[in-house]
């Protein structure tokens, strides 16, 4: 059935308006209508397409939302390799770059360069055929990448169809996909509220989001893109300069960094570098340097490429941001898995526009490697521009009263013994089930599918239960009541009863699951199963010594030491007793231990 002409015209008018306003907002950063007005246009088009499904086109703005999840990414061979760039780290490197170009070209007074910030994101290749986006591919190894077309289509700053006219029949656009700093901080804030692991930096978020098999997840991450070059060009011509090409791409609706400049000579490149470095902290995206390219495309052709890098471009990298300050103290923090981490308390110092008063020292091996003492003048670096760390000590300015840094004997959170096993660099709290710093992770692990398998008890609910003071150890789960649960946010009677039934059901388990659920360091599913088969009884395991433990399959001295440390803690023993008293049970395993081997012996 043919569609009414006025309906087709209305849809085309709406798509055109939405695309124009998208271009104004994402490419030119100069919106001319409000968000409310834009949303109204979008809803109108979406409603029209819902009434007339035959109107929907692949390049319609409504088709950005995300498609059915993929099972895997297919491989894409780049028709023109996506090259790496040579790095410069000093003014001398930059001058040498210009000297080599002039030597290769012959007599040349002044070279013209295009300069732009080097965004710390993910390189992408976009292929447009007859003006329509048909493929998005990651850089990969430069010759082969992954097809991420579905995910690229969700990025609003990437036009599904080019604007204007005159584009080549086949045009490959290259650029950098990234996530803005405010968006990154928002994602991490949400993850923290849910008790989930935080992302280390915006680049990791961008890379992970672009490689989601479910493009609906990519759409939620609000990625964006700046274009910086072209690759394949067939069936058309582009301007003769790099700057001209960028301007042309912008005219076609693609987003170009507004900080792009054309300068003459390495000396002016250096000035640009200093200007961008000074503005770095104020930009809403992460950069790790600036890129300089010979502006003339004809000269780029003459200069050619080396095996992996072009001779006509270079990335002048910024030094990692760093500064000197004084180490005031060292405190020890307990991670959610019991890892003990020394944290430097510093005299506040401003680095990269951020005031730093704490920095990670990683572990005691790192403290020893640095030769660090409290009172030292230390060099602090924002590693990856995100996590501050101490990287060096100025021992020439060490005060006479500098104090040594020693690993404490007991956990600062629960008072349990701190264990450092030979051959490992990370010290751990042996408090296990009772340690307040490990509480949430221990309970979440206890309830997980491969452990006690308590359906419906996820991270968010565990956080609520602990924060409300309803549980402090896994044993407390078995004393929860319906009234306890109904006091929680968004907990209805049916949900409360379902959870209580799941907790009750978990009491009937296996010894292997129970051992795994205890969360003993280095004891995974396989080791838990071996222990259950070997001992057959939890009391026999609790009484075992190092020598006996090492006779169990796949258990060596390190794992044996960690098992002993766990059972040595009376608080862990107390929680186990409470779990058994609450009704946790299993059928007795067939033990491979000779019962007479334990007679008259005391295991410590």
Contact status, residue 349 vs residue 321, Cβ threshold 8 Å: no
Token output for 371: 């030769």
Closest CA to 85 of 389, 312, 360: 312
Dihedral Cα 247, 249, 252, 257, nearest 10 deg: -70
Token output for 520: 């003993």
Q: What is the DSSP letter of 348?
A: E
Q: What is the DSSP letter of 241?
A: B
Q: Which residues contact 512 (CB under 8 A, 6 or more apart)?
A: 525, 528, 529, 531, 532, 533, 589
Which contacts (CB < 8 Å, 24+ apart) does range 70-74 have?
70/150, 70/213, 70/214, 71/213, 72/213, 73/146, 73/147, 73/148, 73/211, 73/213, 74/146, 74/147
Closest CA to 295 of 272, 317, 312: 312
Rounded distance, CA 337 to CA 437, Å?
8
Closest CA to 47 of 66, 32, 60, 33: 60
Contact status, residue 344 vs residue 361, Cβ threshold 8 Å: yes
Rounded distance, CA 399 to CA 381, Å?
22
Rounded distance, CA 257 to CA 297, Å?
20
Q: Which residues contact 235 (CB under 8 A, 6 or more apart)?
A: 168, 169, 170
197 is catalytic: no
Q: Between vectors from CA 31 to CA 30 and to CA 35, what angle results, nearest 5°?
A: 150
Q: Which residues pair with 331 in a beta bridge?
A: 343
Q: Which residues pair with 343 in a beta bridge?
A: 331, 360
Catalytic entry in 46, 118, 293, 350: 118
Alpha-carbon distance values, 381 to 149, 352, 360 (Å):
38, 10, 10
Q: What is the DSSP letter of 372?
A: -
Contact status, residue 579 vs residue 474, Cβ threshold 8 Å: yes
Contact status, residue 428 vs residue 340, Cβ threshold 8 Å: yes
Rounded distance, CA 583 to CA 503, Å?
11
Catalytic residue ranges? 118
């Amino acid at each position: 059935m043919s569609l009414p002409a006025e309906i087709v015209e209305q849809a085309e008018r709406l798509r055109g308006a939405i695309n124009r306003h998208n271009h104004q907002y994402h490419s030119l950063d100069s919106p001319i209508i409000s968000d409310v007005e834009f949303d109204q246009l979008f809803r109108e088009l979406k409603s029209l397409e819902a009434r007339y499904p035959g109107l929907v086109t692949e390049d319609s703005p409504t088709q950005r939302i995300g498609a059915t999840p993929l099972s895997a990414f297919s491989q894409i061979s780049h028709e023109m390799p996506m090259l790496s760039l040579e790095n410069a780290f000093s003014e001398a490197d930059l001058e040498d770059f210009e000297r080599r170009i002039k030597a290769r070209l012959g007599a040349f007074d002044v070279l013209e360069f295009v300069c732009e910030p080097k965004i710390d994101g993910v390189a992408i290749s976009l292929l447009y055929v007859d003006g329509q986006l048909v493929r998005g591919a990651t850089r990969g190894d430069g010759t082969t990448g992954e097809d991420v077309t579905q995910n690229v289509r969700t990025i609003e700053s990437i036009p599904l169809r080019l604007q204007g006219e005159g584009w080549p029949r086949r045009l490959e656009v290259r650029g950098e996909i990234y996530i803005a700093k405010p968006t990154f901080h928002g994602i991490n804030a949400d993850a923290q509220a849910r008790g989930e692991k935080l992302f280390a930096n915006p680049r990791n978020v961008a890379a992970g989001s672009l490689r989601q098999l479910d493009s609906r997840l990519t759409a939620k991450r609000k990625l964006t893109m700046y274009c910086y070059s072209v690759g394949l060009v067939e069936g058309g011509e582009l301007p003769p300069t790099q700057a001209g090409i960028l301007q042309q791409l912008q005219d076609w609706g693609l987003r170009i960094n507004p900080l792009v400049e054309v300068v003459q000579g390495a000396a002016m490149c250096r000035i640009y570098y200093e200007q961008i470095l000074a503005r770095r902290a104020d930009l809403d995206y992460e950069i790790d340097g600036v890129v300089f390219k010979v502006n003339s495309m004809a000269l780029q052709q003459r200069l050619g490429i080396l095996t992996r890098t072009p001779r006509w471009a270079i990335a002048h990298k910024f030094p990692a941001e760093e500064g000197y300050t004084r180490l005031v103290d060292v405190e020890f923090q307990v991670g959610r898995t019991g890892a003990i981490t020394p944290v430097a308390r510093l005299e506040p110092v401003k680095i990269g526009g951020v005031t730093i008063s704490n920095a990670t020292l990683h572990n005691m091996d790192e403290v020893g490697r640095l030769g660090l003492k409290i009172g030292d003048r230390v060099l602090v670096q924002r590693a990856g521009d995100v996590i501050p760390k101490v990287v060096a000590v100025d021992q020439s300015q060490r005060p006479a009263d500098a104090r040594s840094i020693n690993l404490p004997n007991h956990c600062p959170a629960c008072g349990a013994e701190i264990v450092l096993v030979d051959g490992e660099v990370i010290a751990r709290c042996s408090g296990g089930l009772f340690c307040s710093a490990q509480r949430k992770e221990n309970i979440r692990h206890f309830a997980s599918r491969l452990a006690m398998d308590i359906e419906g008890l996820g991270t968010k609910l565990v956080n609520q239960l602990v924060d409300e003071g309803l549980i402090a150890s896994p044993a407390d789960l078995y004393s929860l009541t319906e009234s306890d649960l109904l006091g929680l946010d968004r907990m209805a009677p049916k949900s409360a009863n379902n959870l209580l039934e799941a907790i009750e059901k978990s009491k009937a388990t296996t010894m292997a699951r129970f051992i795994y659920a205890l969360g003993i360091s280095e004891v995974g599913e396989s080791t838990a199963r071996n222990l259950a088969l070997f001992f057959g009884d939890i009391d026999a395991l609790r009484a075992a010594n190092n020598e006996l433990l090492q006779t169990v399959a796949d258990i060596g001295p390190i794992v044996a030491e960690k098992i002993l440390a766990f059972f040595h803690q009376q608080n862990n023993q107390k929680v186990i007793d409470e779990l058994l008293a609450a009704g946790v049970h299993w059928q007795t395993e067939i033990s491979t231990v000779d019962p007479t081997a334990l007679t008259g012996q005391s295991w410590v």
